[in-house]
Amino acid sequence: MAWPSPVAVDASALPPVDRVLGWPALALLVERHGRSVVLDAIRAELAACRTKAADQTLTDRDLATERLVAGIHERVARATALRLQSVWNLTGTVLHTNLGRALLPAAAIEAVARAQGEPVALEYDVASGRRGDRDTLIAPRLAALCAAEHATVVNNCAAGLLLTLGALARRREVIVSRGELIEIGGSFRLPDLMRAAGARLVEVGTTNRTHLDDYAEALSPRTAMILKVHPSNYRITGFAADVESSALAGLAAAHGLPFVVDLGSGALIDLSRHGLPAEPVVADVVATGADLVLFSGDKLLGGPQAGLIVGRERLIRRLNKDPLKRALRAGKLTFAALDAVLALYQSPESLPQTLTTLRLLTRSRDSIRATAERLCPVIAAALPAAFAVTVEAVASEIGSGAQPGETLPSYAVAIRSRSPSAAGLTALAGRLRHLPRPVLGRLADDRLLLDMRCLEEAAEAAFGAEIGRLTP
């Protein structure tokens, strides 16, 4: 069939907004989404046509009813779509901060769903019929898991540090090693946080070496605490020295000061028993004499975003009395998820199956390789012939600052461009990101790697269908 060639038209040919709103082809859209969102879409669609008219590129084809209706549908779909999209994390980083860190285990997802849709006894003591305290849901179990006297929960680890500094060191001094003045992704800088909490930072030692004497010499009547920060996302190697927690705890205790440790990730169990790089275990740090230990809920713990603080009952009580605690407290969804995750820790031998984060971190190379080999032909079939697809041994990362420099052996589907230009690969990565559920890999040298560690067998079919949509 021969189409007549398009004819240039000017803006006067555009239909008025009210008439478009009355088109039968839009009736269902108005019924489903309401008048105002459709009206906005119509105005935007017509404005786009007017811009084209001004450039003298508007044709009668642009004004065909089906064409305008399709454009309006698309604009409404975009305006009403949820902004928080699910993605496929094939980056190789398990605890990816930009992708929401830990994935909750099924038990926690159920607990969160229940707490969202049903009234829950969050601050209500069912036994006595009196008002309760949300912390009592979590504190005894968390304290027991960390062999600590007491525990409290806030919104995240940064909030835990803000609360600790604000409640225990406001207008006083906090001694920190220069080697630990860290910045963590997302504008967490220790000196800035210290200032925001109203505490004065006293830096001791040098970037690579700090000794116990450096701390001792910095003590003054204005000192409120000694703080040790786990240098999460970087490592100083070579001629370096820091002071053991037990020595700092001793020094602080001798001067009647609290010794606080910000562990960041922190593990509740010994990960080396599961073949993973050893990460400080919270209970071990408590046992060195630390008065308070702070760590995140959504890093190695494998739970929801939360800041967990464990340690001396006397200090936790001071934190709980501070007005900052009320401002930084966690919500019921966090409590529901944390409750369920900590319950799983009661049966530690099952954790490699039940705790999603640990399951992904300890997944066997054979299992990852099998996934990569099954999906390799599926991916190859969906890509243009310009790409070569192979299975390749790669290294995954734990992420979230845990054990920088340590990697986990993994397998990826590697995609290479057969043509000498690398532009095709970047464009392909872009197309993968524009799938309904975006596929995120990582570009490394001359290839795009899709690390299969976080793609469990149960999701393979869904992933295959997703990739299949690439085929034009």
Ligand X SMILES: *Cc1c(COP(=O)(O)O)cnc(C)c1O
Q: Which two tokens stand for residue 448?
A: 């795009």
Q: How far is the CB of 290 from ligand X (least distance, A)?
A: 14
Task: Write out the H or E segment, with its range, that includes residue 44.
Answer: helix 35-54
Closest contact distance (angstroms) between CB of 165 and ligand X is: 12
- In terms of Cα–Cα distance, which of 251, 230, 242 is closest to 188? 230
Site residues for ligand X per CB under 6 A? 156-158, 184, 188, 229-230, 232, 262, 264-265, 296, 307, 400-401
Residue among 132 and 404 whose Cβ is closer to ligand X: 404
Please give the residue whose beta carbon sits closest to ligand X in the complex.
264
Residues contacting 229, CB < 8 A, separation 6+: 176, 180, 181, 182, 190, 261, 262, 264
Residue 3 gets which letter from DSSP? P
Query: Of 69 and 402, which CB lies nearer to ligand X in the complex structure?
Result: 402
Nearer to ligand X, 210 or 296 (CB): 296
Indicate the residue among 223 and 232 with the shorter CB distance to ligand X. 232
DSSP state of 169: H
What single string gives the DSSP state of each residue in 94-141?
EE-GGGTSSPPPHHHHHHHHHHHHS---SSEETTTTEE--GGGGTHHH
CB 452 within 8 A of CB 413: yes
**Closer to ligand X at the Cβ: 124 or 188?**
188
Shortest Cβ 196–ligand X spacing (Å)? 13
> Least distance (Å) from ligand X to the CB of residue 116?
22
Shortest distance, position 139 Cβ to ligand X, whole Å: 18
Tokens of 113: 């769903």
Euclidean distance between CA atoms 52 and 375, whole angstroms: 44
Residues 299 and 97: their CA atoms lie apart, in Å, by: 9
230 versus 325: smaller Cβ distance to ligand X? 230
CB 428, CB 457: distance < 8 Å: no
Q: Give whichever of 75 and 230 is closer to ligand X, judged by the CB atom.
A: 230
Smallest distance from ligand X to CB 101, Å: 8
Least separation in angstroms between CB 15 and ligand X: 52
Smallest distance, ligand X to C-beta of residue 382, A: 36
Residue 146 vs 428, nearer CB to ligand X: 146
* Helix (H), strand (E) counts: the chain: 19, 18
| SS3 readout for 193-240 | HHHHCCCEEEEECCCCECCHHHHHHHCCCCEEEEEEECCCCCCCCCCC
